[in-house]
Structure 1
Amino acid sequence: MNNHTAVDMRIANFSNLELALDHMLTLDSHNIPSILHEIRKYADLPYGYLFTADQVGMVNDLLFELKKIRSTCFPYALFLIDDSGVNSAELKFGETGADVIKLDGENSRIAESAIIEYAQKRFIFDHRKLKIPGNKPLPKQVDVAIIGAGVTGLYAANQLARNNISFCVIDKEDIIGGIWSKYANTTSQVNTSEGGYRLVEQEFRSNRDHSTTREILEDIAQIARNVSDKVFLKTNVDRLEKLDDAYRLKISNGQQNSYLKSKGVILAINDRVGAPRKIDWENQSVFQGEILSGISDDAKDFDWKNKKVVIIGMGAFAVENARTALERGASHVTVVCRRHGTVCPKIIDYLNFATPYDESFKHDKKSNMRNMLLWKKLYDHSGATQPECWMGKIKHGGHTISVSDIWFIGHYLKKIETIAGKISGMYENGVIVENQHRIAADVVLNCVGFYRNALTVKKICDYKDMYNNNYVDKDLMYLADAYIDDDAFNSFFGSSVLEMAKFYMDVYVRFFDRGDYFAMIKSDGIETISIEDRKWSHYIDGAAALMSHYPDIYEAARKQVSARTKNFMEAHDIESYISANKREWIDTHSLLAGRPMKAEACLPYVFQKLVDKKI
């Protein structure tokens, strides 16, 4: 039985203290390369370091090495035991960005209390940081009006600020953050590798791979601080109209109506994710368990221990909630879906960003085929059901590809299964599928997706069509996620809406308030599409057309991809990544099985050959 206290932080323990905490990593070596290798194998939680006064020099050296690669293992907190004998000149920690907590004496209970108190405060995000003071007048005129204060809107604002283009950001909500503040769960993670969703280039520490909600919200709050005096919340755009060579926005904020004039507009309004779908099942009232939503932390306080879980849907939120349920002790998870979505292991997504592109931004076909064969082998070995569209298509139209290791491990351990079909009703102890299959459940989690938000833009303006390079009109760009069609993953964007926004903001600044926009929009490959029919493949094709006609845009894209790869590989090189991923792979088996498991008893880790063969 584990009598340890769970904390959301891993402690690298260099001292001789024995602590009754989970996630302890005891390190008795003084060899920096050896310590680095071991620490980076455990990169799945934020770090705190516990050490004594005579180890200050060694910790300083370790921090120096970790900072060079901006490792996710760079600590948030340094717990220093009894520093009375330390010369103040030796303490360089004030320059590290880590919090220093000094502990009196070598006492395990004192150390445990300090660690628990720190973790409980530091790793719970304060949503008040997403509020922007509203006691400022809306300007009458700016260069660019940005509608939407989510990730793309705030990124766009920062880019305009860097280029001395005046702007304001308008959002109808009372906090910034968009989907991340409105629909993400505390346990959510980015459904793409860290390098493909990096909002901020931090000085000391990169976010964890598949960054957490807390990390993303902290980054959102950080970039918002740069532009907070130009952000206006609880403000609606009721109408957008073209006036000669400018735009006029009719604005309301519950107190008064006003007008804003601008040269340009950026529509940072999510197209793909609108209002959540709500559904009631037949005989729902007779069900004796709980019915929860898989979004907005509705299940945050639910006790998953030993529960039979039914999840309805198989999008990214469904796969995420399956992970959360299993990690927190559910006895079994059944996913009921209309069709099987595509799930890939973390390393396949990692390779999508780590593998070099050729001059046409394509991956080597041999590497792609190798990765697909390893992926299929994992499906076969685990017993997870492949999507019905395989291998003709990588995913169903409209679906994303969910990223999860525990999906395959859970299937291998018979802790999770999927059933294709529709819920026809409920009974006292569970759900009924297709009027014949009864599935027992203690809790039913609805993850049935969202309505599309594509009509929002049409409601506020007269535009019905736009171009496949995200332009609606001169200096008017629709910069937002779109319908995920079949070719969405076949580009250097890597299915990351943030990478798409980075590219197109370079384009927007390049053509802003310039007459050559009109020649650009007539270029070969730039096509007219319906606003409500926006797809990922449209702005992928639009990007290709722009790069083929404008060498400077092509070079900007090369720099974007090169910098992304360099920064990502700096913090997550392939040998360290696979070492950490394989360690976590085995530990996840042990967690789900409720007992230690050896590698030979686990689902085979088929990706080791990527390191062995130096591919």
Structure 2
Amino acid sequence: MCPVFRDKTVSKGRPLCFAAAMPARPPISMGMYDPDNHRDASKLSIVKKESKAEEEMSKTMREIELKIHSTGETFSMPAMVCTTVWDIKLMLSERLGMDPGQITFVTKQGPFWRENKDPEEIARKVLVKGIRSFERQRPTHEHPFVVIGAGHIGLRQAMVFLKYGESNFVIFDRKPKVGGMAWWDQANVTSKLQTELGVYHLGFDETLPCPENDYPWPSRDELLAMFQKGAEEYGILPYCRLGTEVQDVKAEGQKLDTKYEVTIQKLDSESKAEKLAAEGVLMYPGNLSLPRREEYRGEDEFGGTIAYGMFDEFGYKEATGKDIAIVGHGAFAVENVRSCCEFSCKKIYLVCRRKNIACPRYVSWLSNQSQSALSASLFLHAMKPMYDLLGWDVWTYYAVQGNANRSNCYIQQKARFGIGDVYFCAISWGKLELIEDPMGIKRLSHHALHCGSGRKIDVQCILKLLGFVGDPSNDRVMKIKEMVGFWVNEDPRRYLVAEPVSVMATNFGGTSFSPGAISWAEMGMHFMHFPKDFTDKVLPTGMLPRHKADETDEGTYRPAYVVDARHGTQTGVFIGSIIPFLMERGAVHSQIKVERMWTLHPVDKFIQYCKEDWDHYCEKFSFEGLTGPGFPYTPEQAHKYLDMYREENKVAAKEQCSFYEEFVDGQLRKAQSAR
């Protein structure tokens, strides 16, 4: 990735970011032939070669200043001595979406001004003609952009629009308040954030301050309050029409001439549906929205409570002093283990067909504080202290494909990681028993669950946590035949993002949502403003993944909008590499992530919070007569895995790792002096 520099001389309240200019000269062959293969090597000795001193000098970085002739707007940027006029023209034309031939550079020589030729090295001070601003001028539009969903990404989309001066938009959501379906509907009152607050908050932006509270795992109600407060403070609420359902999106026309008509219905009134002309539609339907349901033979004979552990359907006080079975092993099942422990159930059985990888909190922190992505092998190695408590080897799980010496691996898992230490604490203290039965649940009888293998489990409550499936109505509303990246039917102004499902990775840049939310929102905005970039630059490459609705997942209908992790990653990486604005913003997002995580959750403080939480449950279990181990991550172990990551990052980020190293060293020195 190219280094990114911010110019502080540009007005309008925010800095411009430009990648350092690197030479981009065409090859000598000009596509006709390869000189190395067609020339006699013995005769190449007569060609003058650049000396080592000249070579080093040509790659020396220096500061150049560009000034627009008509407006006087300037910015400075670093460039190599050997960088040519053509290199800078290409960079500007890519960013501004124009032909480089329209740009002219002139410099002063004595009393005269001289036009610079394309092959010449760029001068230190240059006057630029042919452009009016270093910011790309977006076209005006008569109708508003429509945003469907006022959850995390929908609110982030509003913030991105407002940050970049776009005020002609409107947000619709079925709910009477902001916050989104995941926290209003799916989460229970007992639910908490599994990842860290540093990478899950609405103000995740370089222009906004860090949250004041440094506790890593806020509750559902605290998060909903954060969304409401943010919507008020950032001026989003005037753009929201809450309690309103989008019933239909009609698109008519071809490519860039498409017109959109949105049908909306106010839910708390009997008024007729409205029709609204829109310039484009961005839909954020939230996580998978419908619970996967399954009924077992003998449920009418069970005699106890059978419920889904979501939507506040189950009152956890009912589990106090009782044995309970949790069916499933996804992220929400792991969260329900914590809730059951909190309400002092007697014994917990986690019943699943196969074990998924559960992620310790420290390992989640390690990936979320990273600059370059954490390798999957280090991700698993860092889990070892926790898995050793259980006597399990995570490298043997079905989801892991690794080499013999465990230096490389690929993780592919249908369910997302459940993140939480209480899962490991409860198993190691004997509070929780994990039952893995490939044959699943055969039937129920009075206060008993019978596994396919024949084992009988005596319980008084059963919680079903079988995951979620997509809502087919989202395909219907957006008229989706095929998702191309995150775009509907190759239309740059019909954009839909629902967090990709599953885990498919050889490295991990994080486990949380805000870095992805800001990236998706900026991506959506860019192509709403500049759809021609999509039709002319992106689509012709054929690099975007495609997905249609299918029923290949064991009879479960999977709508087209529900894409997997590979689809999402491939889309993000490719779009970020072909659009200069998004490439530059990607580097800024990494810096925000590092700054927020280390400001709010420095390693020693985070480990202390983890240990306090572990000790809280150990005290509860001890009071019940159980015994078990202490928290497995010492500060020394935490620093050991952190040092291993820092060595990885130096190799992956190369010269760009200086920001990370300086910032982390500064935070570590601050923590040491505080002690």
Length-normalised TM-score, structure 1? 0.69
C-alpha deviations, 1:67-94, integer Å up to 9, x for none? xxxxxxxxxxxxxxxxxxxxxxxxxxxx
1:389–1:377 CA distance, 2 compared to 1 (3 A): farther
AA paired with 2:384? K
Matched, 1:215 2:244: no
Partner SS for 1:507: helix
Q: Which residue of 1 aligns with 2:384?
A: 376
1:202–1:425 CA distance, 2 compared to 1 (3 A): farther
| Higher alpha-carbon deviation: 198-207 or 167-176 | 198-207
Tell me if structure 2 keeps the 8 A contact 1:172–1:235.
Answer: yes
Tell me if structure 1 keeps the 8 A contact 2:186–2:310.
Answer: yes
Tell me if structure 1 keeps the 8 A contact 2:348–2:432.
Answer: yes
Matched, 1:467 2:479: no
Q: Following the alignment from structure 2 to structure 1, what is the Cα–Cα distance between the partners of residues 526 and 499?
A: 21
1:463–1:409 CA distance, 2 compared to 1 (3 A): closer
Matched, 1:405 2:415: no
Q: Which residue of 1 aligns with 2:571?
A: 542
Q: Following the alignment from structure 2 to structure 1, what is the Cα–Cα distance between the partners of residues 157 and 371?
A: 27
Matched, 1:309 2:324: yes
Q: Which residue of 2 aligns with 1:442?
A: 460
AA paired with 2:196? S
Q: Following the alignment from structure 1 to structure 2, what is the Cα–Cα distance between the partners of residues 231 and 384?
A: 49
Q: Which residue of 2 aligns with 1:170?
A: 172
Partner SS for 2:288: coil
1:523–1:561 CA distance, 2 compared to 1 (3 A): farther
Larger Rg: 2
**Where in structure 2 are the equivalents of 1:218-367 lying within 5 Å?**
218-225=225-232, 226-244=235-253, 245=257, 246-253=259-266, 254-270=270-286, 272-357=287-372, 362-363=373-374, 365=375
Partner SS for 2:167: coil
Partner SS for 2:290: coil
Q: Following the alignment from structure 2 to structure 1, what is the Cα–Cα distance between the partners of residues 565 and 343?
A: 35
**Where in structure 2 are the equivalents of 1:179-198 lying within 5 Å?**
179-198=182-201
Tell me if structure 2 keeps the 8 A contact 1:470–1:539.
Answer: no
Q: Following the alignment from structure 1 to structure 2, what is the Cα–Cα distance between the partners of residues 529 and 539?
A: 10
1:566–1:470 CA distance, 2 compared to 1 (3 A): farther
Q: Following the alignment from structure 1 to structure 2, what is the Cα–Cα distance between the partners of residues 203 and 562?
A: 13
**Where in structure 2 are the equivalents of 1:45-60 lying within 5 Å?**
none
1:576–1:203 CA distance, 2 compared to 1 (3 A): closer
Q: Following the alignment from structure 1 to structure 2, what is the Cα–Cα distance between the partners of residues 462 and 252?
A: 18
Partner SS for 1:199: coil
Deviation at 1:415, TM superposition (A): 1.1
Tell me if structure 2 keeps the 8 A contact 1:429–1:440.
Answer: yes
Q: Following the alignment from structure 2 to structure 1, what is the Cα–Cα distance between the partners of residues 174 and 456?
A: 43
Q: Following the alignment from structure 1 to structure 2, what is the Cα–Cα distance between the partners of residues 239 and 445?
A: 36
1:604–1:408 CA distance, 2 compared to 1 (3 A): same
1:153–1:269 CA distance, 2 compared to 1 (3 A): same
Q: Which residue of 1 aligns with 2:162?
A: 161
Q: Following the alignment from structure 2 to structure 1, what is the Cα–Cα distance between the partners of residues 183 and 329?
A: 20
AA paired with 1:252? Q
AA paired with 1:409? C
Q: Which residue of 2 aligns with 1:430?
A: 448
Percent of residue pairs bearing the same amino acid type: 20
C-alpha deviations, 1:23-66, integer Å up to 9, x for none? xxxxxxxxxxxxxxxxxxxxxxxxxxxxxxxxxxxxxxxxxxxx
Q: Which residue of 2 aligns with 1:516?
A: 533
Length-normalised TM-score, structure 2? 0.63
AA paired with 1:460? V
Q: Which residue of 2 aligns with 1:98?
A: none
Q: Following the alignment from structure 1 to structure 2, what is the Cα–Cα distance between the partners of residues 212 and 499?
A: 20
AA paired with 1:150? G
Q: Following the alignment from structure 2 to structure 1, what is the Cα–Cα distance between the partners of residues 391 and 304?
A: 29
AA paired with 2:168? S
Deviation at 1:594, TM superposition (A): 1.6
1:141–1:150 CA distance, 2 compared to 1 (3 A): farther
Deviation at 1:343, TM superposition (A): 0.5
Partner SS for 1:187: coil
Partner SS for 1:522: helix
1:348–1:601 CA distance, 2 compared to 1 (3 A): closer
Deviation at 1:198, TM superposition (A): 1.7
Q: Following the alignment from structure 2 to structure 1, what is the Cα–Cα distance between the partners of residues 162 and 271?
A: 29
Tell me if structure 2 keeps the 8 A contact 1:524–1:545.
Answer: no
Q: Which residue of 2 aligns with 1:71?
A: none
1:282–1:596 CA distance, 2 compared to 1 (3 A): closer
Q: Which residue of 2 aligns with 1:482?
A: 500
Tell me if structure 1 keeps the 8 A contact 2:288–2:468.
Answer: yes
1:241–1:601 CA distance, 2 compared to 1 (3 A): closer
Tell me if structure 2 keeps the 8 A contact 1:184–1:213.
Answer: yes
Q: Following the alignment from structure 2 to structure 1, what is the Cα–Cα distance between the partners of residues 349 and 626?
A: 24
C-alpha deviations, 1:391-417, integer Å up to 9, x for none? 327655320001011111111111111
AA paired with 1:170? F
Partner SS for 1:554: helix
Tell me if structure 1 keeps the 8 A contact 2:330–2:465.
Answer: yes
Partner SS for 1:356: coil
Q: Which residue of 1 aligns with 2:146?
A: 145
C-alpha deviations, 1:495-552, integer Å up to 9, x for none? 4343222112222333333233322323646325125152222232122112322333
Tell me if structure 1 keeps the 8 A contact 2:611–2:631.
Answer: no
Partner SS for 1:605: coil
1:612–1:317 CA distance, 2 compared to 1 (3 A): closer
| Higher alpha-carbon deviation: 381-390 or 442-451 | 381-390
Deviation at 1:440, TM superposition (A): 0.8
Partner SS for 2:312: coil
Deviation at 1:564, TM superposition (A): 1.8
Gaps of 5+ in 2: 1-140, 402-408, 549-559, 644-675
